[in-house]
Chain A
Amino acid sequence: MMPEKNPKTYWKSLSQPCGAAPSPPVAGDEFPESHEPARQEVRRRDFLAAAGFALGGVALGGCRRTPVEKAIPYLVQPEAIVPGRAVHYASTCGACSAGCGLLVKNRDGRAIKLEGNDLHPVSRGGVCAVGQASILGLYDNRRLRHPLRGGEPATWDEVDADISPLLDAIRTGGGSVRFLSGPITSPTKRRVIQTFLGRFDDGKHVSYETLSTAAIHQAHERTHGRRALPRYLFEEADVIVGFDADFLGTWIAPVAFTAGWSDRRKVEQAADDFSYHAQFEGRVSVTGTKADRRIRIAPSELGAVVNHLASTLAARAGVSFDSGQQTPLPIDEHVLEEVSAHLWRSRGKSLVVCGSQDVDVQVLCNFINETLGNYGRTLDISQPAATGGDGDGAVQSLMQELASGRVDALFLDNFNPVYDLPNGAAFATAMGKVGLIVSFADRLTETSEQARYVCPDHHYLESWGDVSLGNAVVGFRQPVMRPLFDTRSCLESLTRWSGTTTTAQDLVRQTWGDRVSWDRAIHDGFASVSEEPARATTFRADAVSAVPTPDELSADAFALVLYPKVAMLDGRVASNPWLHEMPDPVTKVVWDNYASLSPAAAQRLGVTDGDLVSVRHSPEGGTATSIELPALVQPGQHDRVVAIALGYGHAQSARFADVGPEWLEKKPTLGPNGLVGMRAAGLLTYQKGTLQLSGASVTVSPTGGKHELASTQDYHNIEVPAALVIPGMDRRRPMIRETTLASYKRDGSLPVLGHGTHHEDLGDLWPDDHKYEGHHWGMVVDLAACTGCSACVVSCQIENNIPVVGRDEVRRKRIMHWLRVDRYYSETDGEVDISHQPVMCQHCDHAPCETVCPVLATVHGEEGLNQQAYNRCVGTRYCANNCPYKTRRFNWFEYAREDKLANMALNPDITVRTRGVMEKCSFCVQRIEEARIAAKRLGRPIADGDVRPACQQSCPAGAIVFGDMNDPKSAVSKLIRSGRHYRMLEETNVKPSVGYLGLVRNRKEDEDHQHHG
């Protein structure tokens, strides 16, 4: 796949030096706007606008003026590139440390879409929303375009000439050098840093992460003598018990975990093998929404519950366990008994995961897993991934060192401790004491603007790299395009300052040498490393002890839970508009964070959605911190918990002041602080040497202010308000149909609906006119597998050039996402069940939208697609009104923006829609057409699996299946024949082509929350 180095001949002087895909050879042009496809996007809009005046133009038809459009060819034709044809390069995602496999779609020298790598052993084809969106980081106009010296632009030579002597002086003077970074999963980078620091007498690498897993590392150090993060194999687990671990949303490697978890949640494949999943948590996480049993506990109760569980299991196993001074069990003991019984029954095939940062609790979880014999089966510590694990305290010691002025040089990786750290301001002050600060940040942040030298690193899509994935697997990263700016790999910078000039490519290659087949590794994006032996570990029972009982919360206090949102994580992506506009999977709120309170708590405080509350943390002996946030009522949350998302109030979000359309009644996207949301990092605490995201005792008090939250969903319940229902009639809407595993196994079908919504297929009135003899495209979405993670939403947005509209437009319910994930609560006896339902255009064969369009802008295709021709649309919105699913999206304003750099991420095959036209999901018809053209050339029909829409491609859970309904052997046809297949609103006889597989929860029948009508 990689073109070899071009032999240099006389006219090929512009070919790429390192074999990366060449960019168009427009010399000295940062934005190759003259490059044809990029410019097309701009012109497309102009044209549509101009077409508007066609009528007026008729009169002037005689005086014709042809717009001059230029076609600029390559000077030298690169071999791998055919203009207009996409090339895919395998790489590894760099958005977080999980290291998922990517296939980067590259068109005409620029990366335009990140797809999952199906062959990848860890992520198995999925990519999360954050990963998908990370492509925009490449085309971010806030990126530094050259190194900075003292805030002024400089050249690399100047910077090198400055830094090298300074470092020499420090080395000879025996000074101390510190390298501060996030967790480093790249063996090469670790090696290069070590080499670099090794040249100094006092060189030290400190790593740190807000979303810390330090407690797990430390617990394993205690129990297994190995400071490492185990590999979790959810696909092996019959029973999964999660304690505050959002492993389907944000915890460690959600894509891989979702893939593993969902393997065991597919009734069609594994009805007898369906896993049981219990989740103990205080807030409502994505993982919690998918649990078969979700138990609400406050963070302070976690220790007691784990203690009890450990002691019951120890008793069952006959292992001695000193449960210490038993605190009363804060939950129903039958529930604990049920969980414990499930675990015991599936010993060796169960998995207990815990997201707590309390090392004692983690140790107990290790004990439980060990007692159940899970080590080596569902979790593995013998071949862990190489991650950091310095512990959370290291950065605090570093800060003291900095403040004392003992550090001579500080190197900062591309991350932002001033924002991330709870005492970031103090860190910033401490940095002031350091003589030489070098930052590798790709932009100016609170941290990097303090650095004397900013040496911008490449975007990960422009770099060489590797990621240790555990189990002797390494992911590789290759540059998929020529660097856009005058940036340099951090690896090369460090090497150069160490006195050598090795390229990043060679550095990575040196790390692995003969242990991997290089060409194949680069081609695949990953490789198994030979000669990396597993290290056996033994469990040290003596390390286990009961968890000390935490202090009780005072009566009016709340337990604070700080959490990463699925889209925003710890704020590292705060400059990405796609992620800000991705509705939170649980709350459906965009462009904000908020203080989530349970309905009872909100009632007690007398607040409702959008009422500002002040959350105040006053540690004993410390200074009080408080932030003011809008409240959000979150059904299913623990009554003593207030949950706040991290990652907001980030200085990078100030740039969104002008997002969204400008008009008279526009309301700002930014909050009163000039940023998106409020920074909650100040509420983080340290306890027993680990960073605590949850558990701090805070007071919550209403301030009387108001801040309207922008949510994509106003009404959240699957049942309509009781007051609006004629007594005796069904309150529940049948959009979500669900069943329990037990009753599904017995009936093989979903519960029968109440009359009024029951559908009898009366056949077609005109069977002969539209037969769909070729392909008939259809889709099935498995609601049991769907976690609501919204990777599909962002994937669809990127693939289809869907604009970002800003907070105010979302508040006005004008979000443009073609694919949305509806989230419904259903409440039984105070317990809330949550279901997610991805809804896109249903491509009805009797589409109500088509009938009403006056100008034939939306009509039906020969293969069952509901087509929308934007250029024909006059914008009556009648189609959207008549769509029972409301999946159509109207361009209320000219949403497209003239950002030449960001627009390079646009898909050149897709029209950028102008103001006043309707748009909607097309089933990724561009992919169908591409597959058709490819199949035609090969002289064969389109095979099942040739076409995968963007949503299906990215889904980590494999919940979305697309294919030909006319082919009885296709995957989609097989699912349609499933007993839990249903179509939404089929009683209206619109004949949708999208079907759903009913939600299955692994419960006994008497627990069935489904209302039988």
Chain B
Amino acid sequence: MARNHTESRNNCRFLIAIFEREADILAATAEVRRRGQTIADVYTPYPVHGLDKAMDLRPSRLPWVCFALGLAGASFKVWFEFWTSAVDWPINVGGKPWNSLPAFVPVTFEVMVLFAALSTVAAFLFGRRLLPGKRARLASPRVTDNEFALVIEQKDASFSLGEVSAWLREMGASQIEERVEREAF
């Protein structure tokens, strides 16, 4: 994202190759990288197994968000329960001790899960700029149906449209299109 962002001022040229089979897109993606081209992104109707390796993507760091906020939520809650029950207004409830730690566990757990899950999803949506009502910009209208789109960014002048198109077709691309956009999809 960051890389795309710096170039967003300028118009970029993208080459979009559409594939119809999962096996073809996997092969083509690997081939693009082997040939040293820059993959802007690959668009698939479902998470294609192995594509992350083919694209050489790093694993997501969202688990850290999940862990940190889950822990924060749990700590906050256990403190809050202790503070309300034993410090702010200690009330004798059924002769139980002021600090009834075991009784605080269930709510603490629930709040931990709630914090962890919501923060992870929020981080994901925010990180991928997925917002309600946002207009989707599609590489191909059927990319959410049954097509796989490989989008190659034309980084430098040495990019040869014809050559790339040719071997992409060879790899099974059913359709190839060039598009000029202000930013990536």
Complex: A in contact with B (CB within 8 Å): yes
Residue with the highest number of chain A CB atoms closer than 10 Å, among B92, B93, B95, B96: B95
A844 CA to B93 CA, complexed, in Å:
11
Considering the chains assembled together, what is the distance between the CA atoms of A769 and B95 in angstroms? 8
Stretch at the interface among A422-430, A588-596, A846-854, A922-930: A846-854
A856: chain B residues within 8 A (beta carbon): 91, 93
Q: Can you list 16 contacts pairing A with B, beta carbon distance less than 8 Å?
A: A764-B95, A766-B96, A770-B92, A844-B95, A847-B95, A848-B94, A849-B94, A850-B92, A850-B93, A850-B94, A851-B93, A853-B93, A856-B91, A856-B93, A859-B91, A860-B94
Cα–Cα distance between A844 and B97 once the two chains are bound (Å):
15
Interface assignment of A991: CB less than 8 Å from any CB of chain B = yes
Query: Could you tell me the distance between the alpha carbons of A769 and B97 in the complex, rounded to whole angstroms?
Result: 6
Q: Is B80 part of the binding interface, using a Cβ–Cβ cutoff of 8 Å?
A: no
What 10 pairs across the A-B complex have the smallest Cβ distances? A851-B94, A850-B94, A860-B92, A766-B97, A846-B95, A769-B97, A847-B94, A850-B93, A859-B91, A845-B95
Cα-based distance from A853 to B96 in the complex (angstroms): 13
Write out the residue numbers on chain B whose beta carbons fall within 8 Å of the beta carbon of A860: 91-95
B124 in the interface, Cβ–Cβ < 8 Å? Answer: no
- Interface size, B (range): under 10
Residues of B within 8 A of A859 (CB): 91-93
Which residue of chain B lies nearest to A852 when distances are taken between CB atoms in the complex?
A: B94
A620–B93 CA distance with the chains assembled, in angstroms: 70
> Is A770 a contact of B91 with CB atoms below 8 Å?
no
What 1/0 flags go to A845-879 for Cβ under 8 Å of B?
Answer: 11111110100100111100000000000000000
Task: Check if A991 sits within 8 Å of B93, measured CB to CB.
Answer: no
List 19 extra interface pairs beyond A860-B95, A991-B95, CB under 8 A. A766-B95, A766-B97, A769-B92, A769-B95, A770-B95, A844-B94, A844-B95, A845-B95, A846-B94, A846-B95, A847-B95, A850-B94, A851-B96, A856-B91, A859-B92, A860-B91, A860-B92, A860-B93, A860-B94
B67 interface hit (Cβ, 8 Å) = no
Residues from 71 to 128 in B contacting A, C-beta threshold 8 Å: 91-98
Give Cα distance in the complex from A424 to B139, angstroms. 102
**Is chain B's binding surface mostly helix, strand, loop or mixed?**
loop
Q: Which chain A residues border B91 with CB–CB below 8 Å?
A: 856, 859-860
Chain A residues, Cβ within 8 Å of B95: 764, 766, 769-770, 844-847, 860, 991
What is the interface of chain A, defined by CB distance below 8 A to chain B? 764-766, 769-770, 844-851, 853, 856, 859-862, 991
In B19-35, the 8 Å CB interface with A consists of none
Over the window 143-170 of chain B, the binary record of Cβ atoms lying under 8 Å from chain A Cβ atoms (1 yes, 0 no) is: 0000000000000000000000000000
- Choose from A764, A769, A851 the contact partner of B98 (Cβ within 8 Å): A769
**A765 CA to B99 CA, complexed, in Å:** 13
The smallest C-beta distance from B110 to any residue of chain A, in angstroms, reads 14
Q: Which of chain B's residues has its CB closest to A765's CB?
A: B97
Name the residue in B91, B92, B94 with the highest tally of chain A Cβ atoms < 10 Å from its Cβ: B94
A170-B125 Cα distance, complex, nearest whole Å: 106
Closest B residue to A882 using CB positions: B94
Q: Which residue of A769, A844, A849, A853 has the most chain B CB atoms within 10 A of its CB atom?
A: A769
Chain B's nearest CB lies how many Å from the CB of A518? 53
Docked complex Cα distance between A979 and B95 (Å): 27
Chain B residues positioned under 8 Å from A844 (CB to CB) = 94-95
Q: Nearest Cβ in chain B — how far from A353, in angstroms?
A: 49
Q: How many angstroms between the C-alpha atoms of A861 and B96 in the bound complex?
A: 13
A764, B94: Cα distance in complex, Å = 12
Residues on A with C-beta less than 8 A from B94 are: 844, 846-851, 860
Instruction: List B contacts of A765 (CB < 8 A).
Output: 97
Rounded to whole angstroms, the CA-CA distance of A851 and B97 in the bound complex is: 11
A179 to chain B, nearest CB (A): 64
Q: Which residue of B lies closest to A846 (CB)?
A: B95
Cα–Cα, bound, A851→B92 (Å): 9
How distant is A399 from chain B, measured CB to nearest CB, in Å?
66
Query: Nearest Cβ in chain B — how far from A287, in angstroms?
Result: 41
In the complex, the chain B residue whose C-beta lies closest to that of A861 is B92
Across the two chains, which residue of chain A brings its CB closest to B93?
A: A850
Residues of B with C-beta under 8 A to A847: 94-95
A918 to chain B, nearest CB (A): 15
Specify which chain B residues have a CB less than 8 angstroms from the CB of A853 in the assembled complex.
93
Question: Cβ of B98: which chain A residues have Cβ within 8 Å of it?
Answer: 769
Q: Which residue of A lies closest to B95 (CB)?
A: A846
Residues of B within 8 A of A845 (CB): 95
- Residues of A within 8 Å of B96, CB to CB, are 766, 769, 851
Q: Which of A764, A765, A770, A859 has the most CB of B within 10 A?
A: A770
Shortest Cβ distance from residue A852 to the other chain B in the assembled complex, whole angstroms: 8
Q: What CA separation (Å) do A844 and B92 show in the bound complex? A: 12
A770 / chain B contacts, CB cutoff of 8 Å: 92, 95
Query: Shortest distance in angstroms between B86's beta carbon and chain A's nearest beta carbon?
Result: 9
Residue of A nearest to B91 (CB): A859
A849–B92 Cα gap in the complex (Å)?
12
A846 to B98, CA, bound (A): 13
A788–B98 Cα gap in the complex (Å)? 41
Set of chain B residues within 8 Å of A851, measured between Cβ atoms: 93-94, 96
* A854 vs chain B, min Cβ distance (A): 11
Q: Smallest CB-CB separation from A766: which chain B residue?
A: B97
Q: Which residues of B lie under 8 Å from residue A861 when comparing CB positions?
A: 92
How close is B89's CB to chain A, nearest CB, in angstroms?
A: 9
Distance, CA A747 to CA B91, complexed state (A) = 42
**B85 smallest CB distance to A (angstroms):** 10
A860 to B98, CA, bound (A): 12
Taken together as a complex, chains A and B put the C-alpha atoms of A442 and B157 apart, in Å, by 115
> B97: which A residues are within 8 A, CB to CB?
765-766, 769
Expressed in whole angstroms, the minimum distance between the Cβ of B112 and any Cβ of chain A is 20
